[in-house]
Structure 1
Amino acid sequence: MTTARTLSIVTVTAHRPHAPEYHAYSTMLMRRAVAVSQASGWTVEVVAAEDTSVVETLARTDRADAVVLLGGEDIAPEYYGAARGYRAEGRHAERADEAQLTIARRAVDRGTPLLGICRGHQIINVALGGTLVQDLGEGSSHRRDGEPIERVMSTHDVELTAGTVLAGSLIDRLGRVVSTQSAHHQAVARLGSGLAVAAVAHDGLVEAIAHREAPVLGVQWHPEDPGAVRGQFGALLAAVTEPALAVAA
């Protein structure tokens, strides 16, 4: 008898009354990630980290076979040694920050497969001591500022780099050049401990990071977006989870 594989998908919050359009789009992305994961055989639990205590979030994700950290609000700058007051700064979710940063460190320590998307990608970097570019400025090609939420995604290519075993696996699954959907105004700056660059954009921005030893991957783009290449989210999740789960079995 095969035991069901459990996946924790960790979001920031299930409630954004101050930003209903953004919340509706974020919820749609989460549901798409859940649907693909379930179709791949995962038993999925969604945890909204800002809506409960850090202790409960850590407890609910403690026994998961793998974890996905989805996108959302900017990480509070205190966590990476920076100041508030930058351009395009919005609300922060410090309880979610603390819980997700701890989840990322725990995944590295335990060797738990972890996929970070957009904010989740940045969480992995900050959790391991890295820093962020706080704002890419107006006119960035990585987000369509001033557009309705359904048109905020920017389509651009990234080039994968084979700096780690995990990054090499991505190239095998996706190819060297990947079309992506992104909507970010921040980016990875200094890499965290143990991390390597796994993809870069045309302007040199880090678009993916992979841990050198643990099955931990972050991508700055949104493979769960409706405009993403079909099968991209599933391929990224498989690249992180399949080798680790095969060893565990």
Structure 2
Amino acid sequence: MPSAALFHIRDTRPNASRYQALLDDLNGGAVTALRDAGWTVALHPAAERPLETLLDAARRADVVVILGGEDVDPRAYGSSDLRPHATPYDPAADEAQLAVVRDTVAAGRPLLGICRGMQLVNVALGGTLHQDIAGHRRPEGDPFVATDVRFDRPDPVSTSGDLLCSHHQSVDRLGEGLDATARAADGTIEAVRHRDLPVWAYQWHLEHPRSASRQLSPVMASLLAAGAPERVA
């Protein structure tokens, strides 16, 4: 039975209960879909555990997953805050998740980034982010937007139905070793893969409860298979 370590963040601000409920719903979608597909799954709150505990959990897993959440602090990629509407950053979570990404990449182990997770993968490998873009989330009500995506190579989710986005940041300069593998109609990078390593990332929410069984589960199986030579070695 393959194992997955899912690293997430929690927003504990008193006025953030609705946003945290959204994250809990997405994280629950990931856990349910993977367990139904035969995975052993553990969720790890990135800012609430010692770094060595997080790294040990990542090293024990067959696939590491970095989930969604708040904006990445631009200081992590050498920029200042250029957003028109400021929201708090979580530097402790950024540092922990970036460390997990870099450790996993250095070891050549399978890694998946989703939404914020894709942005962190890009930043960890030296890339940068667009700090504010329009058209990829709804400002009120259901925040998810069904996005038309053009794939540049075969992908397990290319025919799986709606690709549900909810983001206002995106990849700008690609990190070292990463290729853009899918783009929205406006050119926004919606998926990346590492040229040499089993490192994949998606900007849309393939862990959404409406999509997870059709998108997250097949991606995890394909990523596990892609990382098999590294694990055997």
Q: Same fold (TM over 0.5)?
A: yes
- Residues 71-150 of structure 1 mapped to structure 2, 5 A cutoff: 71-136=68-133, 140-145=134-139, 147-148=140-141
Residue deviations 1:106-151 (CA, integer Å, cap 9, x gap): 2221111111000000000000000000101xxx220111x13xx0
Q: Are 1:51 and 2:48 matched, yes or no?
A: yes
Q: Are 1:202 and 2:185 matched, yes or no?
A: yes
- 1:126 and 1:192 in contact (8 A); partners too: yes
* Partner secondary structure for residue 174 of structure 1: coil
Deviates more, 1:95-104 or 1:84-93: 84-93
Alpha-carbon offset, residue 187 of structure 1: 0.4
* Partner secondary structure for residue 167 of structure 2: coil
The TM-score normalised by the length of structure 2 is 0.92
- 1:74 and 1:89 in contact (8 A); partners too: no
Alpha-carbon offset, residue 230 of structure 1: 5.3
Q: Which residue in 2 is equivalent to 1:159?
A: 150
Alpha-carbon offset, residue 156 of structure 1: 1.3
* Partner secondary structure for residue 86 of structure 1: coil
**Distance verdict in 2 for CA 1:243–1:90, change over 3 Å:** same
**Distance verdict in 2 for CA 1:229–1:5, change over 3 Å:** closer
Identity %: 38
- Residues 216-227 of structure 1 mapped to structure 2, 5 A cutoff: 216-227=199-210
CA distance in 2, matches of 1:9, 1:23: 16
- Residues 19-30 of structure 1 mapped to structure 2, 5 A cutoff: 19-30=16-27
Q: Are 1:211 and 2:194 matched, yes or no?
A: yes
- 1:161 and 1:176 in contact (8 A); partners too: no
CA distance in 1, matches of 2:14, 2:48: 13
* Partner secondary structure for residue 71 of structure 2: coil
**Distance verdict in 2 for CA 1:144–1:154, change over 3 Å:** same
Deviates more, 1:83-92 or 1:44-53: 83-92
Give structure 2 stretches of 5+ with no counterpart.
none
2:9 pairs with 7, 12, 35, which one?
Answer: 12
CA distance in 2, matches of 1:174, 1:49: 27
Alpha-carbon offset, residue 178 of structure 1: 6.3
RMSD over aligned CA atoms reads: 2.0
Q: Which residue in 2 is equivalent to 1:37?
A: 34
* Partner secondary structure for residue 30 of structure 1: helix
- Residues 61-72 of structure 1 mapped to structure 2, 5 A cutoff: 61-72=58-69
1:156 alignment partner AA:
T
CA distance in 2, matches of 1:62, 1:99: 14
* Partner secondary structure for residue 70 of structure 2: coil
Q: How many positions carry a matched residue from both structures?
A: 232
- 1:159 and 1:177 in contact (8 A); partners too: no
4+ residue runs over 6 A deviation? none
Alpha-carbon offset, residue 14 of structure 1: 6.8
- 2:58 and 2:104 in contact (8 A); partners too: no
CA distance in 2, matches of 1:178, 1:220: 15
